[in-house]
Structure formats: structure tokens, C-alpha cells
Amino acid sequence: MTKHFTKYLVGGAVRDKLLGRAVTERDWVVVGATPEMMQQAGFRPVGQDFPVFLEPGSGEEYALARTERKSGRGYGGFTFHTSPDVTIEEDLIRRDLTVNAMAQAEDGTLIDPYGGQKDLEARLLRHVSPAFAEDPLRVLRVARFAARYAGLGFTVADETRELMRQLATSGELEALTAERSWKEISRAVMEPYPEVFIQVLRACGALEKLFPELDRLFDNSLPKPAGSVGNRLLDRLRIAAGMQIPLPGRWACLLLDIGKDSSPPNNAHALVKRVNQRCKAPRDCQDLALLACDYLSSIHGAIALPADELMQLFKSVDIYRRPERFEELLSVGEADARALVSPDTPAYPQAEYLRAAADTARQVGIQPLLDQGFQGAELGAALDRERSRALGAYQRAFVTR
């Protein structure tokens, strides 16, 4: 860095360093510089909304110190101002939480004008300024940080929760784009305590606005089986995190009970599809959520299925071309079963049974049927018969073990 401007390590890197956690990504703020000065120093511009540059050696991001002003609705409703005169304190005050509004100078000095270190020690997620309420995305971000740090005892400060409640009732959440919301939601469900994300959103009234289908599951006035559907959802998410299930499986765990909270059940498939589309979830997440909605009850009861129904189940979930997705579906089944019975349940016997059955079905070759002259629809029917026959033999052997 040249003598004309100064760099500061900011945000998550400072926070996690003070918490004694591994720092995986470093962001920098530059004070006293212009875009022209950055480019003359060899930095490559990449920012679209405001000046951000990549350092040529490390590839780390350097942003010019800036201020911001609310100019419209939603996450994008801001105008930014950059100038060599903007101070590090002015840059930090626009951030969401005090624990994210600290900086470290090149000599190691901590710049903490808003009490972030004190809040770290108190395990509090507290907003920096009233401007927090100008950005609805911060409701999701705070809930995500709560899901990340719940294991360290962090909670949301009362006054911050009140601002989140104001945002939830203001209509600003509805102005968020699906793309920005999904980025926060997908990161949140992959945190160590994804159930806390749902709890925090519900506590401030945001779950009702963002996921009314999920919020409904916590309505104790609705008829439901023994136990709360909402609490089962929280248990399933917690178990999925402990099993380190990837994102598609956790998304399926989140949506699994939608439409099944009343008697008779609503059209669960259509509701899950609607949430998928509204959130613009990636295709792999959408597909697994729909498969879990449609077929998880059959997977739970697979050991009792007749051979022909088991064969049809395998066709429906496409174990032949998508074996990895089938494994993900089994992991969702295990998380759900443990949430229904006990998180400490040591095994999910249906998974072992279905893996062996799937191997049996896959071993039925098509070439012998071609050699017999089967073609077209007749070939497909003959293949189904052979697979059903092989599965019947597997089931009889399984019973006698």
C-alpha cells in the first residue's frame, strides 16, 4: 500500500479473530484513496455498485471507504458516496452489527468505535445505528449470524429484535429480491444451528412474511398429530446439521411438512413447488424437496412395501441415473425419522434395506431382454417384471436373515 492511502482489515475477519475462530476470508477498506489511485497501484476494479478492487497478489477484496443514504425501497434502495475524505469510522457505522463494525489497522491497532468487542464478550448481536432499519436484508443476516454463533451463546439484543420486528411489519421484506434472499437463506440453513435461523425469524414476525407456509406449522390451534409440527421441523433441521447434510437435503428438511399440518392435508406438492419457485431455489434443491414431499412416507415404510411397489418407487426417484440424489433422499429420511422418534436414534434401518434393494434392482441387466427380442414398450415392461422378481427374491432373503 502506498503512502497516499491506508488499508484496514474489516468485518468478519476481525470478529472471528477476536473470537479465536479460523479466519477464512479477509476483506479490506481503503481510506484516503480514489479509484484512479487504486488502479495506478495495480488493483483491478470489480465492483459495479461501488468501487471494489482485487489486490493483484492475494486476490483479496479492497473497497473504498464509503457512506450510504437510503434512496428507495428494499436492499438495493441506497446511494453510495466514496471520497478520500471518508473516515474508517464513517465507513463502519453503515454496517449491520457492532461485532461486524470493527477494523484492524496495519500495525494491529483495533478500531472499535461502536462497542463491537464489548458485545462479543457479552455474546450479543446488536445493531450499530438506527440506520439498521433501512435495509430489510439485515433481518435475514442477523438471523443467519444467530444460527452461526448460537453454539457460543450469542443472542439477538432486545432493541435489535424490535427493529427487526418493525422491518417485518413495514412491508420492506416484500421488496427483497428472491436472489438476495436466497443467498442469505441458503447460507443460513448451512450454518451449525439452522433451527435458530427459523426461531429468530419467527420471534420478530419475519417468518410469517417470508415463509407463511412454515410459520403456519407453529400454529398450535391447528389439528395435528401428537407433538408440534413446528418443533419437529426445528428438530429435523438441527439433526440435519449434525449429520452434515448438504444444502439440497437441508432445504428438503425445511419444506418437508408444508401442507401436511391440517386434516385433510393440503396439496403439499403444489405448495412446495410454489415455495421453490418463489425463492428461486436451485434446481437440485427444488427436485429433492419435491421428491421428499412425495415419497418420504414410502421410504419410511419401505420394508413393508410389496416388490412391485418398491420397484415403482425406485423408478419414481430414478435410482438408476441419479444414485447420489437417492442417497441425499435417504439422509433426509433419516433426519426426519430421528426427529419423529428421538435425535439419539442410532440407526435408520430403512436406509440399509433400500441401498441393498437398489443394488439388486440395478443388477438386472437389459441385454438378456434385448437378446430375447424385446423392444420399445415391451422392453420396458419386461425390465420392470425382472426387477420386481429380483426384488421379491431380495425381500424373501431379507425376511429369513
pLDDT digits (tens, 9 = 90+) for 1-58: 445 679 999 999 999 999 999 998 899 999 999 989 999 989 999 876 678 999 888 8
Tally of CA atoms within 13 A in the half-sphere of 246 that contains its CB:
10
b/e burial code for range 74-101 (CB count within 10 A of at least 16 → b): bbeebeeebeeebebebbbbbbbbbbbb
Mean pLDDT, the chain, rounded, equals 91
Q: Would you state the pLDDT for residue 2? A: 46
- Mean pLDDT within 339-355: 86
What is the rounded distance in angstroms from the CA atom of residue 252 to the CA atom of residue 269?
Answer: 12
Q: How far is CA 27 from CA 12, 64, 102, in A?
A: 8, 11, 12
Residue 287 has pLDDT above 90, yes or no: yes
104 DSSP assignment: E
Q: Would you state the pLDDT for residue 223? A: 54
Q: Would you state the pLDDT for residue 1? A: 46
Using an 8 Å Cβ cutoff, are 33 and 84 in contact? Answer: yes
Cβ-count burial of 106 within 10 angstroms (0-12 exposed, 13-18 middle, 19+ buried)? exposed
Nearest to 330 by CA among 349, 312, 315, 307: 349
Estimate to the nearest angstrom the gap between the alpha carbon of 243 and the chain centroid. Answer: 15
In the chain, where the domains are located: 1-114, 362-399
What is the rounded distance in angstroms from the CA atom of residue 330 to the CA atom of residue 291?
Answer: 11
Q: Would you state the pLDDT for residue 266? A: 63
The CATH topology of domain 1-114 is Beta Polymerase; domain 2 (3.30.460)
Residue 317 has pLDDT above 50, yes or no: yes
Predicted TM-score of the model (pTM): 0.90
Q: Would you state the pLDDT for residue 222? A: 55
- One DSSP character per residue, 130-149 reads GGGGG-THHHHHHHHHHHHH
Cβ-count burial of 357 within 10 angstroms (0-12 exposed, 13-18 middle, 19+ buried)? buried
Using an 8 Å Cβ cutoff, are 221 and 176 in contact? Answer: no
Pick the range with the lowest mean pLDDT from 63-72, 87-96, 296-305, 330-339: 63-72
Here the cell at position 35 is 479509484
Q: Are strands 6-10 and 27-31 parallel, antiparallel or unpaired?
A: antiparallel
Q: How far is CA 282 from CA 141, 276, 331, 336, in A?
A: 20, 8, 19, 22
Using an 8 Å Cβ cutoff, are 87 and 30 in contact? Answer: no
| Percent share of the chain, pLDDT over 90 | 78
Residue 82 pairs in a beta bridge with 66
Q: Would you state the pLDDT for residue 79? A: 67
* Alpha helix segments (H runs only) across 256-375: 268-279, 283-300, 307-317, 323-340, 349-362, 367-371
Q: pLDDT tens digit string along 241-270?
A: 999 999 999 999 999 999 876 555 568 999
- Mean pLDDT within 346-351: 88
| Percent share of the chain, pLDDT over 70 | 91
Q: pLDDT tens digit string along 153-197?
A: 999 999 999 999 999 999 899 889 999 999 999 999 999 999 999
Q: Which helix (H) or strand (E) holds 176?
A: none
Q: pLDDT tens digit string along 56-96?
A: 888 899 999 998 765 455 455 556 788 888 999 999 999 99
Q: Would you state the pLDDT for residue 263? A: 53
